[in-house]
Chains A and B, each alone.
Chain A
Amino acid sequence: MSALASTLAQITDAADAQNVEAAGSAGFAYGLAAIGPGIGIGYLVGQAVQAMARQPESAGQVQTTMFLGIAFTEALALIGFVVFILLKFV
């Protein structure tokens, strides 16, 4: 009986360790997926701000393009997030 209990405990520990490992991997993947969009948004907004400061008369167009660019770049992070929740919780 005690042998069975110890075997079950080992299996549970292994499963827990696997879960922790999976959670860590999913979190790491999400973190990596957010780096690219972060760099992209930083570059995009930096250039847009420079453009608006140089040519205030075209700021409206620049801001619109910037907003859409941010949203498209953010889609990459959202895809990473969806992969994360699917790996972690499903």
Chain B
Amino acid sequence: MSDDVYTARLEGPSPAAQVAKDLVRRGIWAAPILMLIGTAIWGTDGFFSTGYGIGLILFNFALSAFLIASTSRISLSLMMAAVLFGFLIRLGIIFIAVYAVKDAGWMNLVALGATIIVTHLGLLFWELRYVSASLAYPGLKPGTSKSADQTNQSFLNKEHSQP
């Protein structure tokens, strides 16, 4: 069993990448609404700060999924390492991104902070609706379940590659 954990790898389209794609698509769809709300509450600064916050969150989701998808094809242990160090790296990137613009004239930190929390949790709960609704692959429309089935069947580990 321990050998499997260290050497097993996954193949096929990554479900994490597909979920992240859904999250980003919904985020882009919801961005104008959130930016209008930000403008109504904080004015022009709120508009730009909200947009910046949404961009950060979507980038964070995309980077997280990219790390999982790319490393799981190499090995599960590498995926675990990438997720853990990716957590640190992504927090660092968010910190640098916020620190770089904190004094900008168009930045409202309260709006940015509220956007980060609301967008992150909102998109996740939105996605979770699809997870709960579909016992197969969350966030995926029925039409795309073919690729998910393919994913499921094509996961290999060294059982398949070993003679």
Partners in one complex: yes
* Chain A positions within 8 Å of B131 at CB level: 64-65, 68
Could you tell me the dominant secondary structure of chain A's interface residues?
Answer: helix
Which positions 51-81 of chain B face chain A at CB distance < 8 Å? 60-61, 64-65, 68, 72, 76-77, 79-80
How many residues belonging to A are interface residues under a CB distance threshold of 8 Å?
38
**Closest residue of A by beta carbon distance from B121:** A75
A13 and B132 CA atoms in complex are apart in Å by 57
By CB atoms of chain B within 10 A, which of A37, A52, A54, A60 has the most?
A60
Q: Can you list, as one digit per residue, whether each of A46-82 has a CB less than 8 Å from chain B (1) or not (0)? A: 1001101110111111011111101110110111011
Q: List 23 A-B contacts (CB under 8 A).
A: A41-B84, A42-B84, A45-B84, A46-B80, A53-B5, A53-B76, A54-B4, A56-B8, A59-B10, A59-B155, A60-B155, A61-B15, A64-B15, A64-B137, A64-B138, A67-B16, A71-B124, A75-B117, A75-B121, A75-B124, A79-B117, A85-B98, A90-B109
Can you list the 8 inter-chain pairs with the closest CB atoms, starting with the nearest?
Answer: A82-B113, A67-B16, A53-B4, A59-B155, A64-B15, A56-B155, A53-B5, A60-B152
